[in-house]
Amino acid sequence: MRMQEDEDRSVGVEDNIDKSFLISVPDNSNLVGETKIDTHRTKVQWKRKSVVTLSLTILTSSQAILIVWSKRAGKYEYSVTTANFLVETLKCAISLLALARLWNKQGVTDDNRLTTTLNEVIVYPIPAVLYLIKNLLQYYIFAYVDAPGYQILKNFNIISTGVLYRIILKKRLSEIQWAAFILLTAGCTTAQLNSNSDHVLQTPFQGWVMAIVMALLSGFAGVYTEAIIKKRPSRDINVQNFWLYIFGMGFNAVAILVQDFDAVMNKGFFHGYSFVTVLMIFNHALSGIAVSMVMKYADNIVKVYSTSVAMILTAIVSVFLFGFHLSLAFFLGTIVVSVAIYLHSAGKIQR
């Protein structure tokens, strides 16, 4: 959590950027002093946004590479539920550590104290519940779609995130940015095309419906998390993370009891854990925190672009690590995704 140290605590969240940006328009010479401070603020915010986005991209990409690595090393032998539980526990522990440093430096304030109200905390389990429903549906969709087909259909997530971001957070994208978002979806899908991709066009109606419902659930969970985190801009992100992850621990403890109770009792909690497993748990924990940071200091749109770039990075790195071949479709998809990123920034609404 080194990022946290760079942070200028007097700076608000994204929503406040716009206001301070408006003030910083140099139309009044009396405001020169204030303008300087605002320019500094904007720079700090821009730097922080870039650092969290870059971290998320690198962590997501290395996550995918670790998955390929662990699959090459053999089947998953450890229980996934215990690993998920450990990820949530690690995230909780990291948040608490960051908070301890903060308390040491600044003392306990209204914004960084851990105690909370029911009113604040009641919404925190909702994203976890949404993801749970989505993961349950995931078992059923494979009756209609194969795994590579599901990989293709998952790109609906991009569009659903954009639409729900617009509806729920009421933030506007310019027409050029919408075009960029459509291109991002098409580009990511193109990059993933292979000789079997056309099978997905034979997906039965129920498969399409489930894919769309899952994309909506996943998009809603992401946008809802952003809404929760942004609702209290001055609240410290580590407190918000702590409460998000404590519910995550709870849900995953239940999952161990329901799915893997016997296995854990007979073979032990850490049965089948290897070095790669431990790396994966650390990586998942750090990416989870990076996602929260992106929600706090950037938004879901940035998150979607970041994970798309991670997908492309993963493929390129895999060429060197695992001798993968890149297809023509991958190159074309990468060109489209790159243009989409350019257009997203070129199409920024002028305020």
Determine, following the binding rule CB under 8 A, whether residue 186 of this chain makes contact with a copy of itself: yes
Determine, following the binding rule CB under 8 A, whether residue 339 of this chain makes contact with a copy of itself: yes
Among 100, 182, 209, 278, binds a copy of itself (CB under 8 A): 182
Closest by CA position to 301, among listed 340, 243, 351, 248: 340
Q: How many angstroms separate the CA atoms of 311 and 115, rounded?
A: 39
With 0-12 / 13-18 / 19 or more C-beta atoms within 10 angstroms meaning exposed / middle / buried, residue 9 is middle
Determine, following the binding rule CB under 8 A, whether residue 262 of this chain makes contact with a copy of itself: no
With contacts defined by CB under 8 A, name the span among 13-21, 137-145, 285-293, 333-341 that binds a copy of itself.
333-341
Nearest to a copy of itself of 186, 246 (CB atom) = 186
Q: How many CB atoms lie within 10 A of CB 236?
A: 24
Q: How many angstroms separate the CA atoms of 226 and 240, rounded?
A: 11
CA 40 to chain centre: 28
CB of 166 within 8 A of CB of 133?
A: no
Among 175, 262, 323, 351, binds a copy of itself (CB under 8 A): 175
Number of residues that bind a copy of itself (CB under 8 A): 27
Nearest to a copy of itself of 147, 201 (CB atom) = 201
With contacts defined by CB under 8 A, name the span among 25-33, 43-51, 197-205, 283-291 that binds a copy of itself.
197-205
Nearest to a copy of itself of 148, 250 (CB atom) = 148
Determine, following the binding rule CB under 8 A, whether residue 152 of this chain makes contact with a copy of itself: yes
Q: Which two tokens stand for residue 242?
A: 């702590």
With contacts defined by CB under 8 A, name the span among 80-88, 107-115, 134-142, 330-338 that binds a copy of itself.
330-338
Determine, following the binding rule CB under 8 A, whether residue 319 of this chain makes contact with a copy of itself: no
Among 30, 119, 195, 350, binds a copy of itself (CB under 8 A): 195
With 0-12 / 13-18 / 19 or more C-beta atoms within 10 angstroms meaning exposed / middle / buried, residue 158 is buried
Determine, following the binding rule CB under 8 A, whether residue 343 of this chain makes contact with a copy of itself: yes
CA 11 to chain centre: 23
Nearest to a copy of itself of 50, 196 (CB atom) = 196
Q: How many angstroms separate the CA atoms of 294 and 287, rounded?
A: 10
Q: How many angstroms separate the CA atoms of 22 and 195, rounded?
A: 51
Q: How many angstroms separate the CA atoms of 63 and 73, rounded?
A: 15
What minimum distance in Å lies between the beta carbon of 192 and a copy of itself?
10
Determine, following the binding rule CB under 8 A, whether residue 67 of this chain makes contact with a copy of itself: no
What minimum distance in Å lies between the beta carbon of 155 and a copy of itself?
10
Helix (H) or strand (E) segment spanning residue 55: helix 32-72
Nearest to a copy of itself of 135, 202 (CB atom) = 202
Determine, following the binding rule CB under 8 A, whether residue 198 of this chain makes contact with a copy of itself: yes
Closest by CA position to 150, among listed 87, 218, 225: 218
Residues that bind a copy of itself (CB under 8 A): 152, 175-176, 179, 182-183, 186-187, 189-190, 193, 195, 197-198, 200-201, 327-329, 332-333, 335-336, 339, 342-343, 346
